[in-house]
Structure formats: structure tokens, C-alpha cells
Amino acid sequence: MSKKKQPVGVAIDDVTIKGVDGLQLSINDEVIGTIMPLENGSFEAQIGSNRPVKVKTQDEAIEYLIQTYNLHH
């Protein structure tokens, strides 16, 4: 018996952390992680208290957060 497909609500909200504007990614009202811009034009994606991961684009950061969330759920 297969599971029915359920819609997944993904939200990207603007946040300010330590005076720096960034993004917060949520899936079904559960905060997954944050994306913060770096001075050199790249971004840092961080899940909870884990070490931040540096990526080149904001889209890569979003993909990283969603992929990591899917691995653990």
C-alpha cells in the first residue's frame, strides 16, 4: 500500500541575526535553518547548531537545507 502524496509547505522568511539580514527556511511551520550572506558574495547555510556550510549562491543554500532535512525525516 503506497502513501498518498501530501503537500509540503516551504516558507522563506526574512530575518535579522546579529545585525545581518538573512533568510530563514521553514517546512510545515518547522524552522529548518538559516541562510546568511557573506562579504565576498557567497552564502552560509546553517541547520540548528551545526557548523555552517559555505555555498556560492542562495539557491544552493536552499537546496542544501531541503536535502539535509529530507535525509533526516
Give the number of domains in the chain: 1
Instruction: Return the pLDDT at 3.
Output: 74
Q: Is residue 5 part of a domain?
A: no
Does the pTM exceed 0.75? yes
Q: Which residue has the cell 529530507?
A: 70
Q: What is the pLDDT of residues 26-50, one digit of tens each?
A: 998 899 999 999 999 999 999 988 8
Q: Is residue 4 part of a domain?
A: no
Q: Is residue 37 part of a domain?
A: yes
Q: How confident is the model at residue 1 (pLDDT cuts 50, 70, 90)?
A: low
- CA dist 42 and 49 (Å) reads 20
Q: Is residue 3 part of a domain?
A: no
CB of 43 closer than 8 Å to CB of 61: yes
Residue 44's domain comprises: 10-72
- DSSP string over 45-73: EE-TTSPPEEESSHHHHHHHHHHHHHHH-
